[in-house]
């Protein structure tokens, strides 16, 4: 199961097997950016499927990332890029 409710009240989302649907969009009269995650039957990683409905029921997506401004989105992008560099050994996590 890729989305896990841990016993300590935290939530883990495990990526890498194609069984998490990642969707993006806008909410709040297009004032806030939105990325959602939910479990799906495994598909090729990066598989893109156009959303059929203009609006979706967010209760069907257990994880939401909501961005009130592009600065907060830029920080997430930077952290993801840094994590990629750790994983490819371009940066050393202990000496960075």
The DSSP letter of residue 43 is -
Q: Is residue 78 part of a domain?
A: no
Q: What is the DSSP track for 57-70?
A: -GGG-SEEEEESSH
CA distances for 18 relative to 3, 14, 55, 68, 96, angstroms? 12, 10, 24, 28, 30
Give pTM, 2 decimals: 0.85
Paired strand residues for 26: 33
The domain containing residue 59 runs over which residues? 3-68
Q: Is residue 49 part of a domain?
A: yes
User: In this structure, what are the phi and psi dihedrals at residue 44, rounded to the nearest 5 degrees?
Assistant: -55, 140
Within 13 A of 83's CA, how many CA atoms are on the CB side?
6
Q: Is residue 83 part of a domain?
A: no
Question: pLDDT tens per residue, the chain (96 residues)?
Answer: 689 999 999 999 999 999 999 999 998 877 899 999 999 999 999 999 888 877 888 899 999 999 999 999 999 999 999 999 999 999 998 987
* Phi-psi map region of 65: left, alpha, beta (phi>0 left; psi -120 to 50 alpha): beta
Q: Is residue 28 part of a domain?
A: yes
- Indicate the number of domains in the chain: 1
């Amino acid at each position: 199961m890729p989305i896990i409710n841990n016993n300590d009240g935290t939530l883990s989302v495990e990526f890498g097997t194609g069984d998490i649907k990642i969707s993006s969009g806008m909410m709040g009269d297009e004032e806030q950016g939105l990325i959602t995650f939910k479990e799906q039957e495994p598909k090729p990683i990066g598989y893109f499927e156009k959303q059929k409905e203009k609006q979706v029921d967010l209760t069907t997506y257990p994880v939401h990332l909501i961005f009130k401004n592009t600065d907060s989105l830029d920080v997430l992008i930077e952290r993801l890029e840094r994590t990629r560099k750790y994983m490819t050994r371009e940066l050393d996590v202990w000496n960075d």
